[in-house]
Every structure is written in C-alpha cells, then in structure tokens.
Amino acid sequence: MNKTTKWKEQPFCWPKGYHSDAVHAGLRYRKLDLGWVLSDVAANAAGVYTTNKICAAPTLLTKQLVKKTQQLQAVVINSGFANACTGEQGVKDVYLEQQWVAEKLGISPELVGVASTGLIGTPLPMDKMQQGIAKLEKNQNDLITQAILTTDTQTKTCCLHIEIEGKPCTITGFAKGSGMIHPNMATMLAFVVTDCAIEAKTLQSLLSELTEQTFNQITVDGDTSTNDMVLLMANGLASHQPINEQSTDYPVIKQAYQFMLTELAKMIAQDGEGASKLIEVNVHGAKNVQEARLAAKAIVGSSLVKSAVFGADPNWGRILSSLGASQIHIDPTLIDVNINQTPIVEKGQAAHFSTDAMSEILKSAVIVIDVFLHIGKAHGQAWGCDLTYEYVNINASYAT
C-alpha cells in the first residue's frame, strides 16, 4: 500500500460478513453450475444491466428489485441456462428461485438477486435448481468464480485491501464473460462486494460512471447479451462512517473501484472466445472524452483490425479506416499511431518501419495501439481481442 493509492492487491478472499458456495446442480455436464454470494446483513446495492431490448427474466427482476430497495443480502447465480426468451414460465421460475433462497436463509425475497448465463430459449430445469439451492452452504470458498463460467477459459477475480478512517476494508470482485461481448455490456456478469460502508445513492452513481469507462469499453464480437449484469454490494461491516461523494475518502474508494472494474474488464476482453491476444486501444488528443471512447471502441471492435492482429499483419490502414468510420472529429493529416510504442503512422501516412519487425511486435500477447489525434486534450480507452479461427469453431457448435 502506498500514499498515492491507499490500497493494494491481495489474494482472493471475502470481505467481512460475506459467504459463498457453489455446487454441481446438473445444469451442465460435470461442472459447477449454481452458486450464491451472501452477506450477514442487508447490503447497499447498485447495478447496471444489459441495454438489449430482449432482457432475460432474472436480469429484469434484479434490475427492478435493486431500483426499488437499493439493498441485497444474497445473489444466486447459475450457468448453463440464460432463462431468456422463456415467457411467463421464466418469470415464475425467477420468483421461485428467490423464494427458495429466502426461505433457506430466513430473509425477505426482496433481498435476493438472481443472475443467469447460458443458452437462450431453454427453460430452467427447476427440479435441479431446487435441489442445488438446498445443497448450498454458508462457506467462504471461491467456487462461485468457477460456477458462473460458460465458454470462459479461466476465472476472473480481483481483490483489494483498502483503509478507510484507519480501518481495514476489502473489495472483492469476480466476473465471467467470453463471447457476446459488446457493451453496453457483454455476455458478462460481474459482482463486486465490500465491507466498506457506502451510501446506496453514491454506490449507484459510482458504478454508473465507472461502467462507462470500463465494461462499456470492451468488445469481443459486437453482440450484446440478454443477461448482462454488474452488481455492487456494500454491507458496511468495516464499521467506518458511511461514504458519500462529499466524504474525504471518496476519491480513495473511487480509485479502488476504477482499478477493480478495469482489471475485470480487461480479463474479460483477454479471455474472448478463441482469443490469443489482448488488444488495448488508447485514443489521445480527441475533442472530448465521448469521442475518444467512441473511436477507441470502433478500432478495437473492427473485425479487420482484430484479424490483422491475429495474423500479425501490420496493416495500419485498417486502424485509420475504422477510426474514420467512427465519425468523430479528426484531421487526417495530424494522426499518429504507435503499436507497442513503435510508430507505424505519422501525420496520417506510413511511418518508416520494418514490416518484419512490426510483424514480430504483433506476435506479442498484449497489443497496445496508441492513436494521437492532436486536436484536443481528451483520452479514451477500449479493450478487445483478436479474431481467430477458434472463435468460429466455438460459436458454430455452442448449442450442441
């Protein structure tokens, strides 16, 4: 921990008052597929959700719930079935999940959030769901980080230690996401829990602001899911004064959450279906932040750029083409582009570079594209991955 950040990363652990568990309920073949996260007390809650007009039943219910109560004490999550496009039965099934969890824990159903990810259009096998929920315990393991995965190849977690008013606090986050990643938001779920005391209104505004900079700036394949959800919970058991936007420690909290959400977003982008490389695009010197972010996302989302990165092809024209198509304010004669700090475009034309050397650079596991517009002071970032043959293989047979 240092004076500038006041937080540090640490091995995965749960904040004070949180419990978690996961089981194999039979929703997926031989994999953990059902789990929960619990707080000993009702926690202030905030959420952001898919913008897809077709919204899955659990996503819609949890969105309505958090908006109404601004609190959660438990979240139950399953993989394998999205419970999207399942009609009235899907809605009834979500209420059943709430009821079963609430009865088991002795809390109000209005304190139970529900999240699902998986195949769209197939009803949940509720007998297996009920049996699975009955098996869940108040443990403190990390099995939930595995149970929420679908086509992901690895878990995505981050844990921070932070001090507020001299009292130790923990912020723990975990996420899933690999395909259908094109926020507003992606096929992605993310959950961040803390024992910090943060006012509900502040928690929601913080999440909404930071989502624009993080999860909404990643793209894998240009598809937006029916089930996207990011939830924050803050149970206050660290026992410091509740934080709002006027609090002295608010900048510390904001900085920690920004790091947390950025790391989770980058993990999702790097684990895109079939991906072999993480692509980060930084747009500098834009007219405003909105245009900088729009341009960065346009470049990282370009199938031609993604394919060129996969093939280690230094085809810089694709970068400029996708930049121009974003319709932001630019002067083509001022644009510079670097790839992993090596100039490839200067003043809108080819820089002097070795094609062979640039191809070697493009074989790196992380590709950073810096675009300098030189017309303003705003900066924007976006993350994605390369487009590989394996992406097609995965998605050509997902349902089977």
Other Cβ atoms less than 10 A from the Cβ of 196: the count is 28
For residue 289, the one-letter residue type is: V
Q: Are 151 and 179 in contact (CB under 8 A)?
A: yes
User: Which residues are identified as catalytic?
Assistant: 187
DSSP 47: E
Q: Is 53 annotated as a binding residue?
A: no
Q: Helix 87-105 crosses helix 57-69 at what angle (to 10 degrees)?
A: 50
CA-closest candidate to residue 381, choices 186, 217, 257, 216: 217
Pair of tokens at residue 300:
């990282």
Residues 6+ apart with CB under 8 A from 50: 56, 59, 184, 185, 224, 225, 226, 227, 228, 229
Q: Is 50 annotated as a binding residue?
A: no
- Say whether 152 sits in a helix, a strand or coil: coil
CA-closest candidate to residue 117, choices 146, 92, 159: 146
Q: Is 150 annotated as a binding residue?
A: yes
Q: Is 273 annotated as a binding residue?
A: yes
Q: Are 173 and 159 in contact (CB under 8 A)?
A: yes
Q: Is 122 annotated as a binding residue?
A: no
Q: How far apart are CA 282 and CA 198, in angstroms?
A: 31
Other Cβ atoms less than 10 A from the Cβ of 75: the count is 26
Q: Is the peptide bond before 338 cis (omega within 30 degrees of 0)?
A: no
Q: How far apart are CA 386 and CA 36, in angstroms?
A: 33
Q: Are 101 and 72 in contact (CB under 8 A)?
A: no
Q: How far apart are CA 77 and CA 89, in angstroms?
A: 18
Q: Is 400 annotated as a binding residue?
A: yes
Residues 6+ apart with CB under 8 A from 220: 178, 179, 180, 181, 182, 186, 268, 269, 272, 273, 275, 384, 385
- Ranges assigned E (strand) in 165-270: 167-181, 186-194, 218-219, 229-234
Q: How far apart are CA 230 and CA 221, in angstroms?
A: 19
Residues tagged in the binding site annotation: 150, 176, 187, 273, 395, 400
Please state the residue numbers annotated as binding site for substrate: 150, 176, 187, 273, 395, 400
